[in-house]
Structure 1
Amino acid sequence: MIVRDAGDSWQLVLQTDHADLAAGFGAAWADRGPRHDSVVVATRRHDDGWATWERSPLVDEASRPVQFLDVHVPAHLAFYRAGIAAITDEDHYAGLLVSMHGAGIYRQRYGTDPALGLTRAPEVQELVDAFVAEQEAAYPERMAAVGVSDELRWEDYHRLQWLDRFSLAFCMRDWDAAGEPFDVGSYRFEPLGPWRARVTPYPFAEPSVAVTLLRRRVPKEQWTQAAFREAFASAPVEAVDVVVEA
């Protein structure tokens, strides 16, 4: 779950809703490889494993909803394994890309996002290393099964990472008004107004792209686990139109 402090409330975005936003960007992406349909599947489903955890989300000792970077790592590893297996059943190449994504979370997107890291990963480093090694050991067999080159799977992996990061840029920030430009890797985002941004260099095929973000709001209170789960389950789902333009 992606948590943002919204003043008197918490803005909450499910990982699966964040992934749908990312897939919307993927459908509009201009720079496409020959297996882009599988990239979009991988993008739409890259966080499917979270669905189990998010049926009963947690609050921490300070009554703040637990952010995705702070989740208990053994649980994270378990549901990512399950998600990778399920995605592979639909699309074997998408399964490879999500396997790379899952391992890459613990390797700063294979060196391209140095700030990325689950806060509790060092506590269970042996489990993390075993998970990464397990996924990486299967890459050659997965590549052979779908007939893709090493070059293509890395190109598509990085496409998936950009789509993930574009979505996170909207899920994790305040977009209620225009604001100061900020960078996401090599891209610059200029907030032009509520949920509207100019991006340079511009990565989409059309001059303007509109996608939908689903979010919930839960008031800030001293929550018990049970009360928070009930409040979260009953919170209305808001659909926000996100617009990106050249």
Structure 2
Amino acid sequence: MIVNYTADGWQIIYQQAHALLAAQLLHEWPAFLPLDKWVGLLAAVAQHDDEQPNWDGHYGLTPAGAPANFTMKEFSLEQAQGVLHSARFQGRWRSLLTSMHLSKLYETLRGDNKTTDTFLDEQQANQKRWIKQLNLQRVEAQQAYDLMHWCDRLSLILCRHELPEMSRSLEIYTGMDGQRYDVVRPAESGPLIVHPWPFQEKQFTVSIETSLLQQLQFKDDAELATALREAPIETLTWTLKSRI
């Protein structure tokens, strides 16, 4: 979960919903891949946070009983293996992109334990094999993955309310081509500006559903789960536009 503290309590965004927001952003990019690979990229983005493990004990809570933000949770090998397993049913291209994302997220954990190292080694081997089987160059795969990571990053910026105040810009991502993209909110309630503008349309709107919790502390996962099922839903929207 993505957990934001507000004046009224907790704003909860499921990670799967964040992924769907990332896919909305990708949908607005001009396609630069053949249809099958472009749709595969969309699928990889939309489903990259699936296979979240079931809450068990205090998996969904901090030690103080508050909803736990995903950044507070340890690496879940089960979730990583699950999302990769699901990707394989949609083919090698989807699997390749998902594997590259797992390497990007978790390569920094190398050396922590042998099990994680083995999983990371498997990703490197799988990626080399799939790139060869698909008759791709590594640079082609990296270009597609960079866009996946770009959309993931901007979605997280929006979901976590990370936009700076006073019209200051925030870097979204710099890809292998060296091009840096920034996002800025010129006015408190106005459209967001992405520069340079990469999208097809000059302006569009994206949205996500959130759950609102007024209760600040929970005794266990079951109580949190019940509260989330009964929580009111709010839709957040953002309009993005070109400077021109």
8 Å Cα contact 1:2-1:13 kept in structure 2 = yes
CA contact (8 A) 1:103 1:131 kept: no
Contact 1:28/1:205 (8 A) holds in 2: yes
Does the CA contact (< 8 Å) of 2:192 and 2:241 recur in 1? Answer: yes
- Map 1:235-246; keep pairs closer than 5 Å: 235-246=231-242
- Between the aligned partners of 1:233 and 1:122, the Cα distance in structure 2 is 37
Aligned residue number for residue 182 of structure 1: 169
1:118 matched residue in structure 2: none
**Which deviates more, 216-225 or 79-88?**
216-225
Q: Report deviation, 1:54.
A: 6.6
Match of 1:164 among 152, 155, 178: 152
Identity of aligned residues (%): 23
Asked if the contact 2:110–2:117 (Cα under 8 Å) also holds between the matched residues in 1, the reply is no
TM-score (normalised: structure 2): 0.84
Q: Counterparts of 1:139-154 in structure 2 under 5 Å? A: 139-154=127-142
Shift of 1:124: 4.2
Alignment partner, residue 63 of structure 2: 61
**Structure that is richer in helix per residue:** 1
Partner of 2:51: 49
Partner of 2:72: 70
Q: Secondary structure, in 3 states, of the residue corresponding to 1:209?
A: strand
> Could you tell me how far 1:174 is from its partner in structure 2?
6.3
The CA distance in 2 between the partners of 1:53 and 1:223, in whole Å, is 17
Q: Distance in 1 between matches of 2:233 and 2:91?
A: 30
Give the total of aligned pairs.
Answer: 230
Correspondent of 2:40 among 35, 38, 41: 38
Q: 1:55 to 1:174 in 2, by over 3 A?
A: farther
Change (3 A) 1:107 1:245: farther
- In the aligned structure 1, how far is the partner of 2:215 from the partner of 2:190? 23
5+ residue gaps, structure 2: 174-179
In our comparison, the structure showing a higher alpha carbon Rg is 2
Secondary structure of the residue aligned to 1:90 is coil
Any idea what the Cα deviations from partners look like across 1:42-69, whole Å, max 9, x if unmatched?
101111122x447996111122211112
Deviations 1:181-208 (A, max 9, x none): 2312332222234483111111111101
**1:66–1:123 distance in 2 versus 1, CA, 3 Å:** farther
Q: Normalization by structure 1: what TM-score?
A: 0.83
Post-superposition offset of 1:229: 1.8
RMSD: 2.6
* Counterparts of 1:227 and 1:96, CA distance in 2: 38
Deviations 1:119-153 (A, max 9, x none): xx589444332221111111122223333221111
Are the structure 2 counterparts of residues 194 and 84 from structure 1 closer, same or farther at C-alpha, using a change threshold of 3 Å?
Answer: farther
Contact 1:11 1:218 in 2 (8 A): yes
Shift of 1:83: 1.0
Consecutive unaligned residues in structure 1, runs of 5 or more: 109-120
Letter in 1 for 2:19: A
Q: Which residue of 1 aligns with 2:176?
A: none
Q: Aligned partners of 1:63 and 1:127: how far apart in 2?
A: 30
Secondary structure (helix, strand or coil) at the match of 1:187 reads strand
Task: Give the whole-Å Cα distance in 2 for the aligned partners of 1:234 and 1:94.
Answer: 35
Q: Tell me the residue number matched to 1:216.
A: 211
Which secondary structure does the structure 1 equivalent of 2:212 belong to?
A: strand
1:239 counterpart letter in structure 2: T
Residue 77 of structure 1 and its aligned partner are, at CA, apart by: 1.4
Structure 2: how far apart are the matches of 1:237 and 1:8? 13
